[in-house]
Amino acid sequence: MIGTINPRKTFAIISHPDAGKTTLTEKLLLFGGAIQQAGAVKARGENRHARSDWMKVEQERGISVASSVMNFEYENITFNLLDTPGHEDFSEDTYRVLTAVDSAVMVLDSAKGIETQTKKLFEVCRLRNVPIITFINKLDREGLDPFCLLDDIEKTLALDVTPASWPIGMGKDFLGCYDLLNDQLILMNKTGSKALINSTIETCKGLDDPKLDALLPAHAVAKLREDVTMVRELCPAFDKELYLAGALTPVFFGSAINNFGVKEVLEGLHNLAPTPREQPAAERTVSPSENKVTGFVFKIQANMDPKHRDRIAFMRICSGHFKRGMTLNQVRTGKSLKVPTPVMFLAQERELAEDAYAGDIIGIPNHGQLRIGDTLTEGEKLHFTGIPSFAPELLKSVRALDPLKSKHLGNALQQIAEEGGASVFKPIVGAEWIVGVVGALQFEVMADRIRTEFNIPVAFEPTQYYTARWVECDDKNIMKKFLDANQISIAEDHDGATVFLARNAWHLNKVNEDFPQIVLRKTREQVF
């Protein structure tokens, strides 16, 4: 394996909606040689849709609602890129994706700095000490002062910052960046050329190099020298160990839509980002260098190919050398699972994976055997931890507009629930289905998906329930008393776990008072 197999680097891109995350994803694929033409998020006429936004509903709305996996090679390193939904209504998918990566790229809009969703996603990264590279985007537009942006990152996220590059001008006056790590002047190509690399690079011998005076206007050179002097006084020098510990972020500036600064981010990932890290399991910590194959399922996606009603489980390989056709042990069920047709991805496009190594993400076609949180091994009983499921904040009942399709509705809801895109509850009393989501937009997207993928028009309607909680109790007798006393409020989720549906806050508190031994959980770790 050593010397013949490319090292792996698996990373996610996180941001607030509209910061340019999907555009950066496309451009990284372009520079990595994975695609020949970058798509636009809001495509017009002949323009392609973004490669990572492959679902019909994504193309119609111009937003990302499902995570995508993209595999590409760059300078003898194999990258696994996970693009995540930026919209907060789909954050649960993003949280789970972040359990499967070893580093992240945080994209900020230069006019807005740290926004709400960025902060939430960063906190998830912090829980796992995920190293972060920051890309400040849209320098071709007027934005905040670079020093203000650095200060915002430092204060809001309590994260040390080290500029890896420094912008020269902004908006119409944006000329390019100075590469502080390599002493290079990177000039913006303003010819309007559609060439891949929208920049020219001049190697310099530090900021006193007369080459700078020849290539830049006098006022721009003076400000650059002044700014960089301040940066070096105010910001710590780059420390790779601190970066790998998640305590310091190198900051790159650029404009993804203009292909500027993207190559530098890719080089940063190539040179700095970690190779596969150890993974925590309930029994022990698993090292990527171990010989035996282990992995966990962090995402299920149904109907990536609507013609075939398929269902793909996304598995992160944690250790070993996986080979096509292997038989693995599904720890939750104790059953053997043969994997004859594993796939690698470029968004919805896929190819057979002959083998895979620690850090790789493979897709396993299945018909419902696999669940989010499942561990697969060559035999050892392991349970990987830290894959979350969250209690929904909004609940509605759902019905098929055509009563003849009511039976099929249950199957459609089960599939979507197994993807982790929403919670689905079946009360033990009555025939209705209850759907729970994190954000209201999810109801619209679900309705669209059920209609287009399953041909079942549905209506979401208000329900008497206020919130849902998973029920746990070690004492079987008390559990039975609780269930008997609250029959009309008890449901099962898609995994068969017991759920309490509270009508209001008072109802929730009353149960806590009446049954103190009963634990009502807002989060549930997907460990099987």
pLDDT (0 to 100) of residue 126: 87
Share of the chain above pLDDT 90, in %: 57
pLDDT (0 to 100) of residue 36: 57
Residue 40 has pLDDT above 90, yes or no: no
Report how far residue 503's alpha carbon sits from residue 390's, in angstroms, rounded to the nearest whole number: 18
Residue with tokens 């549906």: 501
pLDDT (0 to 100) of residue 199: 75
> Average pLDDT, stretch 122-129?
85
Share of the chain above pLDDT 70, in %: 85
pLDDT in tens, 414-471: 888 877 768 899 999 888 899 998 778 778 888 988 998 889 999 999 999 999 999 9
Residue 54 has pLDDT above 50, yes or no: no
Q: In Å, how far from its chain's centre is CA 51?
A: 15
> Average pLDDT, stretch 367-391?
85
Residue 51 has pLDDT above 70, yes or no: no
pLDDT (0 to 100) of residue 79: 94
pLDDT (0 to 100) of residue 65: 38
Instruction: Domains for the chain: give ranges and CATH numbers.
Output: 8-171+237-272 (3.40.50.300), 279-377 (3.40.50.300), 388-525 (3.30.70.3280)
Distances (CA, A) of 340 to 325, 329, 365, 382: 4, 14, 9, 23
Residue 41 has pLDDT above 70, yes or no: no
pLDDT in tens, 89-106: 445 677 788 889 999 999
Residue 357 DSSP label: E
pLDDT (0 to 100) of residue 521: 86
CB 146 within 8 A of CB 166: yes
pLDDT (0 to 100) of residue 204: 86
Residue 346 has pLDDT above 90, yes or no: no
pLDDT (0 to 100) of residue 98: 87
Report how far residue 107's alpha carbon sits from residue 352's, in angstroms, rounded to the nearest whole number: 32
pLDDT (0 to 100) of residue 198: 67
Q: What are the structure tokens assigned to 318, written together?
A: 């944690």
Residue 48's pLDDT band, with cuts at 50, 70 and 90, is very low
Mean pLDDT score of the chain = 85
> Average pLDDT, stretch 244-252?
97
Nearest partner of 454 among 322, 320, 348, 303, judged by Cα: 303
CB 377 within 8 A of CB 290: no
pLDDT in tens, 168-201: 999 999 999 999 998 899 998 765 554 455 678 8
Q: Which residue did the predictor score with more confidence, 158 or 371?
A: 158
pLDDT in tens, 480-510: 999 999 999 999 998 888 999 999 999 999 9
Q: What are the structure tokens assigned to 497, written together?
A: 């776990």
pLDDT in tens, 272-296: 999 999 999 999 999 999 999 999 9
| Three-state helix/strand/coil letters over 425-460 | EEECCCCCEEEEECCCHHHHHHHHHHHHHHCCCEEE
Residue 20 DSSP label: S
Residue 1 has pLDDT above 80, yes or no: no
Residue 166 has pLDDT above 50, yes or no: yes
